[in-house]
Amino acid sequence: MQKAILYDTTLRDGMQGENIFFSPEDKIKIARKLDDAGIHYIEGGWPGSNPGAQLFFELVKDIPFKQARITAFGSTRRPGKPCDQDANLQALVNCPAPVVTLFGKSWDLHVESIMENTQKENLAMITESIAFLLDHGKEVLYDAEHFFDGYKSNPEFALKTLDAAIAGGTKTLVLCDTNGGSMPFEIEQMTRAVVDHFKDTPDVIFGIHVHNDCAMAVANSIIAVQAGVTMVQGTINGYGERCGNADLTAIIPILALKMGRDCISDGNLKKILNLSRFISETANVPPVNSRPFVGNSAFAHKGGVHVSAIMKNPKAYEHISPELVGNKRRVIVSEQSGKSNIEYKAKELGVDLSSSDINGYHIVSSIKELENDGYEFDAAEGSLKLIMEKLTGQFVPLFELESFRVSVEKDKERPCYSHAMIKIRVGDTTEITSAEGEGPVSALDNALRKALTRIYPSVDEMHLVDFKVRVIDGIDGTDAKVRVLIESRDENNIFSTIGVSEDIIEASWQALADSFQYKLSLDKNK
């Protein structure tokens, strides 16, 4: 089985993406997760460019890793400056990281027009910088920046830059599609040309590093492996500058499951989903539901024909078993659903349809009526479970609303703030509480949480992750119905609930109350 080496640059190239930031402490946590998932190289940043990267390397130097090698990033020496007088190279030498990924110019456009350098000096910069770092005990990987654009412009010079890197002593050549504009057939052709160029040079390891500006980053990485590349560089979730980098959450399963490459254990492959979500949460960026393999919708089925088929054999509409990557199959109930969707979903959610005279067809009809009124249960599985329990007579409310009152106040000196008073019944007990919040929904949430915590302490584990409001049909202006979706989570679960009303507070209350009912039902069934 051929080996593939996984190189993660989320902590450097990924941070160049818009709205992506990790503190040095965040980066330590992420590095541990990457190592635990089986990544071979973890690039931590450019120590010569910012203090945050240097602090990360100081913090990480004494942490034992299972297999990952921590890597620093930097450039070749400046034109006309000796290596021992170049501040960037000195920072790399002094960095505790045992590995350095050094980039140099492969494109004559950059060498001559951007840097105003000569080709001869550029080649010397590559060779001398690599040799200098090797002499100081570093493992050196060479990133050939803009290689594919450089090869298209001047193949002879582009290959000379790789020769210069080998002359400096490195054994790893990483071909970069820095602008992300190359097509898979171009990547394959040029990669094969490079591999052939070094056919008589022993022990060379080829790598690929591509960007996603033409939505080809994953495809280009895979075709490069097919053409002879061993090391694949990328980021978790594809974070990166402009349109991002190659997404390792897609590349790793493809290498392991589709190409049979020895890159990650079966156990580590199952950690990919949690790794994706952990980094997404650390970056404070919502997960992309449609992301292949790890997205919430990656194995979701909505059409009745599809659901009927996967109940007989999941292979009918799934290219792999979702459990292989730590994901799970989801069946969505909506106005497009059939009886099969309801039966599958009821079983998944723990609703016993056999205990009621209400059958799947009746539930489908009721769901469709509700969706016609503005509900959307494919995005609110928590509320769906409660609706199914109500329709089949299995719903036992763990609290009931008696009344609530919300006031909003604004004066010249401070922003709007809200106060909520709520009266609920739990069994034979009545709870009346009040709380403030930054808005009416926040005030209601705080008041309900305050009332329930006395009886159900576990609600303290739960917190709101996302709150969305949608106007269903704007033709009625301020009288239009609104849909409120709330996403909540506790230590082990993420769940969504929904409310619909002409009044935004009423819709919010419906979704909020459902989220607490669902959370408490989970605890009850433990």
Could you read off the pLDDT of 78-135 as tens digits, one per residue?
A: 999 999 999 999 999 999 999 999 999 999 999 999 999 999 999 999 999 999 999 9
The rounded mean pLDDT for the chain is: 90
The alpha carbon of 25 is separated from its chain's Cα centroid by a whole number of angstroms, namely 19
- Give the pLDDT mean for 251-273: 96
**pLDDT band, residue 387 (cuts 50/70/90):** confident
pLDDT for 409: 87
**pLDDT band, residue 476 (cuts 50/70/90):** low
More confident residue, 417 or 223: 223
CA–CA gap between residue 347 and residue 361 (Å, rounded):
15
- The model's pLDDT over 39-87, given as tens digits with 9 standing for 90+, comes to 999 999 999 777 888 899 999 999 999 999 999 999 999 999 999 999 9
Q: What is the DSSP letter of 247?
A: B
Residue 478: pLDDT over 90: no
For the chain, the straight-line distance linking the first and the last C-alpha, in angstroms and rounded, comes to 43
**For residues 128 and 140, is the Cβ–Cβ distance under 8 A?**
no
Q: What angle do CA 91, 248, 270 make, to 5 degrees?
A: 120
CA–CA gap between residue 225 and residue 145 (Å, rounded):
18
Give the lowest-confidence range in 77-81, 172-176, 326-330. Answer: 326-330
Residue 278: pLDDT over 80: yes
Q: How many CB atoms lie within 10 A of CB 491?
A: 7
- Give the pLDDT mean for 211-217: 98
CA–CA gap between residue 386 and residue 347 (Å, rounded):
14
pLDDT for 389: 86
CATH architecture of 400-524: 2-Layer Sandwich (3.30)
Q: What is the DSSP letter of 427?
A: T
**For residues 419 and 409, is the Cβ–Cβ distance under 8 A?**
yes
Strands (E), 427-481: 429-437, 463-471
Give the burial class of 395: count Cβ atoms within 10 A of its Cβ; 0-12 exposed, 13-18 middle, 19 or more buried. Answer: middle
CATH H-level, domain 5-283: superfamily: Aldolase class I (3.20.20.70)
Residue 201: pLDDT over 80: yes
Q: Half-sphere exposure (CA, 13 Å, Cβ side) for 287?
A: 23
Write down the pTM of the prediction: 0.77
- The model's pLDDT over 489-515, given as tens digits with 9 standing for 90+, comes to 887 778 889 999 999 999 999 999 999
- The model's pLDDT over 392-427, given as tens digits with 9 standing for 90+, comes to 888 889 999 999 999 998 877 777 889 999 999 998
Domain ranges of the chain: 5-283, 300-391, 400-524
Sheet order of strands, 417-426 included? 400-409, 417-426, 429-437
**pLDDT band, residue 526 (cuts 50/70/90):** low
